[in-house]
Structure 1
Amino acid sequence: MSPSPLRGGVRGGGVVTSAERTGETSRGGAWDAAAAVPDPEVPCVTVADLGILRSVEIIDGVAVAKVTPTYSGCPAVLAIELAVEVALRDAGFEARVERVISPAWTTDWITPEGREKLLEYGIAPPAQSSNSIRALFGETQVDCPQCGSSETERVSEFGSTACKALYRCTACREPFDYFKCI
């Protein structure tokens, strides 16, 4: 997995006073506020876990968060942008969110922590790198997040959201979502 090429948020910590809202401390606090926003469609992961929060910078006193949608038709993109803006404002920052569409987001940007959270939530994380021809156009081996069996079958190309497919485990008989490689 390769990390997001623009994921440059500085992770700071704690409460940031107005006197400290300069430099790295301010940017770190802004990153932390934005990074904690949960994805509205998959609430077990944050926008940082998914890698869609690209960066947070302080520009002329304004926290500017750059966000990349998972795909161009994602119905949650406006909700995510508004939630990031609200989180920054609640943390005491003037805020602006910018949508960045290039380079396009890929499931390779999901952090290892995000993949683990998906699995614990019952969603099979993407199995292969998005640049794999097999991942994009072939059958992908998906292990069951409930029992770990590799004896699974795709039921539908689309699951609870367009970015997930519906699978069924033939071993434990449980249905589950698989976060598709993009």
Structure 2
Amino acid sequence: MVTDAAILEAVGEVADPEVPVLTIADLGVLRGVRHEGDEVVVTITPTYSGCPAMDLIRHEVELTLRSLDVDGRVETVLSPAWTTDWMSESGKAKLVDYGIAPPSGAGPVMLRLSVRCPLCGSPDTTELSHFGSTSCKALWRCNTCREPFDHFKAI
């Protein structure tokens, strides 16, 4: 029999289809694993309601459960709502390595002094568009190295 810890570790390695260097564990989308009788229930929370990646994430989690020969299902929970506070420090470091500025700070911040460029580290940056390649990201440009980059919004 596969332990809950082994199941959690295996499904936690499912990649985010929008930012493939991140896993659902890195993002904090994976909320937990529990047993209901003989069935394993994996709980996930989308980064925002209506996130198109959730169908693929659900499918990949189901495939992972089958590969472990585990009878299970995936349950989506919307409350409490996902927050960037759930992202792991490792996941934030992966974003920087991938060229995306990670969310910073805890809780809502109405004043943003700057977003550091993940390419050169300069704080001299400008938001070009509040909406980037996905709804979770904004498009920024570094005024030092002149390169555009995504910033994972703090939610």
- Corresponding position: 1:111 with 2:88: yes
User: Comparing 84-93 with 66-75, which one deviates more in the overlay?
Assistant: 84-93
Q: Distance in 1 between matches of 2:9 and 2:39?
A: 15
Q: Distance in 1 between matches of 2:113 and 2:82?
A: 20
Look up the match of 1:77: 54
Q: CA deviation at 1:128?
A: 2.0
Q: CA deviation at 1:140?
A: 5.3
Aligned with residue 94 of structure 1, among 71, 77, 94: 71
The answer as to whether partners of 1:127 and 1:141 remain within 8 angstroms in 2 is: no
Look up the match of 2:141: 168
Paired amino acid for 1:162: S
Q: Distance in 2 between matches of 1:139 and 1:29?
A: 40
Aligned with residue 128 of structure 2, among 143, 149, 155: 155
Q: CA deviation at 1:165?
A: 0.2
Q: Secondary structure at the match of 1:167?
A: strand
Unaligned stretches of 5+ in structure 2?
none
TM value normalised by structure 1: 0.82
Give 1:18-167 correspondences, 5 Å limit: 20-21=1-2, 26-129=3-106, 131-134=107-110, 138-139=111-112, 141-167=114-140
Q: Distance in 1 between matches of 2:149 and 2:88?
A: 21
Look up the match of 2:150: 177
Deviations 1:54-81 (A, max 9, x none): 0012322222100000001211111111
Paired amino acid for 1:159: G
Identical residues among aligned pairs (%): 50
Q: Distance in 1 between matches of 2:39 and 2:90?
A: 29
Q: Secondary structure at the match of 2:18?
A: coil
Which runs of at least 4 in structure 1 moved beyond 6 Å after TM superposition?
A: none
Paired amino acid for 1:156: S
Q: Distance in 2 between matches of 1:88 and 1:35?
A: 11
Paired amino acid for 1:120: D
| Number of aligned residues | 155
Q: Distance in 1 between matches of 2:50 and 2:114?
A: 26
TM value normalised by structure 2: 0.95
Look up the match of 1:13: none
Unaligned stretches of 5+ in structure 1?
1-19
